């Protein structure tokens, strides 16, 4: 599996999509505080709720679209990655509404990608040794969470005062640009994965 191009495409799609989304949710409390948003608990609840509904969404997509139109799961991931990238750039807007909308989009898309990933692992690499294969794929979660969290912390401290406290849009502006750019790159990689596996999925219909 590790010798296949499709695996590394899939790995980095997950890394630059769902893992970035998880890093955002892990830092959501501090992000809200730095922007002067007092409803931190509401944002965390919103993120959790939309993440839950995102995990349910692939089942609805299977029923309404994939079974009727033959849309592959890599194509579904590509469709979900694009609004995630847009949500990070929307966070450059300082309004609370932009924060709420972005949190909802990132939550639902991250949840959906996490759910779809299980099926993609099975379809592309087989049911044999599935647990090992999928654990290799999701190994990017702790790696990415550390790297993305460390990046966010570095920028936060750089923009903060001598006590390490940062208030304002500058605290996470560059972080959002990096995360959004990674998601955009992930969207391109998801398209490449879709193109490479299109014939395989068409034969499964």
Whole-structure pTM value: 0.89
Q: Which long-range contacts (CB under 8 A, 24 or more apart) does 145-154 make?
A: 145/19, 145/22, 145/23, 145/26, 148/19, 148/20, 148/23, 148/179, 149/23, 149/26, 149/27, 151/175, 151/178, 152/23, 152/27
Which residues neighbour 53 within 8 Å (Cβ) at sequence distance 6 or greater? 108, 111
Instruction: Render pLDDT for 44-85 as a digit per residue (tens, 0 to 9).
Output: 899 999 999 999 888 777 776 655 556 788 888 999 999 999
Instruction: Render pLDDT for 133-151 as a digit per residue (tens, 0 to 9).
Output: 889 888 999 999 999 999 9
Mean pLDDT of the chain: 88
DSSP state of 16: T
| Per-domain residue ranges of the chain | 5-204
Q: How far is CA 87 from the centre of its chain?
A: 11
The pLDDT of residue 185: 96
In this structure, is the dihedral angle defined by the CA atoms of residues 111, 115, 116 and 120, taken in order, positive or negative?
positive
DSSP per residue, 40-73? HHHHHHHHHHHHHHHHHHHHHHIIIIIHHH---H
Would you tell me how many other CB atoms lie within 10 Å of the CB of residue 26?
A: 14
The pLDDT of residue 125: 85
Q: How much of the chain is in helix, strand and coil states, percent to nearest 5?
A: 80, 0, 20
CATH T-level fold of 5-204: Growth Hormone; Chain: A; (1.20.1250)
Nearest to 21 by CA among 135, 148, 133: 148
Would you tell me how many other CB atoms lie within 10 Å of the CB of residue 131?
A: 8
Residue with tokens 């193109």, as numbered in its chain: 195
């Amino acid at each position: 599996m590790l010798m296949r191009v499709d695996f590394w495409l899939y790995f980095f799609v997950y890394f630059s999509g769902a893992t970035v989304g998880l890093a955002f949710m892990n830092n959501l409390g501090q992000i809200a505080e730095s922007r002067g948003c007092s409803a931190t608990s509401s944002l965390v609840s919103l993120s959790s709720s939309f993440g839950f509904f995102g995990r349910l969404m692939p089942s609805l997509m299977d029923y309404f679209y994939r079974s009727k139109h033959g849309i592959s799961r890599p194509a579904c991931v590509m469709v979900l990655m694009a609004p995630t990238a847009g949500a990070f750039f929307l966070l450059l807007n300082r309004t609370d509404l932009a924060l709420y909308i972005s949190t909802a989009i990132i939550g639902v898309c991250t949840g959906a990608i996490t759910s779809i990933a299980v099926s993609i692992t099975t379809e592309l690499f087989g049911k044999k040794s599935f647990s090992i294969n999928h654990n290799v794929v999701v190994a990017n979660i702790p790696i990415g969470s550390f790297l993305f969290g460390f990046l966010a912390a570095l920028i936060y401290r750089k923009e903060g005062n001598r006590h390490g406290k940062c208030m304002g849009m500058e605290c996470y502006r560059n972080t959002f640009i990096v995360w959004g750019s990674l998601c955009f790159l992930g969207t391109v990689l998801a398209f490449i994965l879709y193109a490479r596996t299109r014939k395989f999925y068409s034969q499964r219909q």
